[in-house]
Chain A
Amino acid sequence: MRAAVIVFPGSNADVDMFNAVEDIMEAPVDYVWHSETDLSAYDVILLPGGFSYGDYLRCGAVARFSPVMEQVVKAAEAGKLVMGVCNGFQILLEAGLLPGAMLRNTSLKYRCKISPLRVVNADTPFTRDYAADEIIDIPIAHGEGNYYCDETTLATLQANNQIVFRYEGENPNGSVDNIAGICNERGNVLGMMPHPERAVHTWMTSADGKRVFTSILKTWREQNSATAHA
């Protein structure tokens, strides 16, 4: 398995993501600059947090037109695992790979703290090592994480089990239905505001994010051995 961490001008959680892959998955991982036009070497594509293009206009609005994004869309269509965290989630929304959009936090404050999450769907390639309804501690760090979608879209997300994480207790940003993370209908694209890559060792205060990475690895191994035996 080879993972790509996409780096946009203004990404700042790329190193955290890279280290999490190295430490937890022990898999080869590369930084891939936003101008790259070939992602065929990668099985897993990770869009890190940060402030791509200074968050000008809207978070993720400019990044989604980077040359690499066409390849990210193709990879998602081909069924590869794509995960966007924080700004990466915002980019996936702007790119239309996930439904909805982000608004300013209702508090108008940048929130940076450990946030308890409920694992709503433990049956995705990204969450299979969790138990359903498990409460986990994952850090958040964002000013625009107030997930919004219209009622029809929300009903679809609920009906298809596309809500993967919800904030438990306090909702730090005012998101619809306490949403912290969603996946696409097929389940191979995940977007989440909290940072699992910043909670992979006990010295980081929480190691609860580790299992996002072990889940991805397990999924890949399973898919890979299935292909080999076919």
Chain B
Amino acid sequence: MLKAIVYVTLRESVLDPQGSAVKGALHSLGFDEVQEARIGKYMELSLGTSDREQAKERVTEMCEKLLANTVIEDYRYEIVEV
């Protein structure tokens, strides 16, 4: 069986207000080395298939259709054995 691990983050060109707030908080705690913080989403999808190629194709479609809004977000994923 396969599992897809999907990461969705705001595109580089889009200002991330949550990331900016977290960066500010880290700075105020003394973690001055933090140059940028980006907040995103992490999703785990258990797939009822063992066909890797098919899984990739389907997960790409899921990301494009629903999981990410490509106007503002980028996505990437890993397919892992479980």
Partners in one complex: yes
Q: What is the interface of chain A, defined by CB distance below 8 A to chain B?
A: 57-58, 61-62, 65, 94, 99-101, 103-108, 146, 148-150, 174
> What is the size, in residues, of chain B's interface with A at 8 Å between Cβ atoms?
13
Least CB distance, A63 to chain B, in whole angstroms: 12
Q: Tell me how many residue pairs across A and B have CB atoms closer than 8 Å.
A: 37
Assess whether B17 is interfacial by the CB under 8 Å rule.
yes
- For the complex, what is the distance from the CA of A104 to the CA of B40, rounded to whole Å? 13
Q: Could you tell me the dominant secondary structure of chain A's interface residues?
A: loop
**A residues near B82, Cβ cutoff 8 Å:** none
**A residues near B71, Cβ cutoff 8 Å:** 99-101, 148-150
**A residues near B66, Cβ cutoff 8 Å:** 57, 61-62, 65
Assess whether B79 is interfacial by the CB under 8 Å rule.
no
> Across the interface, do A108 and B17 meet the contact criterion of CB distance under 8 Å?
yes
26 contacts between A and B (CB under 8 A): A57-B41, A57-B66, A58-B69, A61-B66, A61-B69, A65-B66, A94-B69, A99-B71, A101-B69, A101-B71, A103-B14, A103-B15, A103-B17, A103-B72, A104-B17, A104-B18, A106-B15, A107-B17, A108-B17, A108-B18, A108-B21, A146-B17, A148-B72, A149-B71, A150-B13, A174-B15
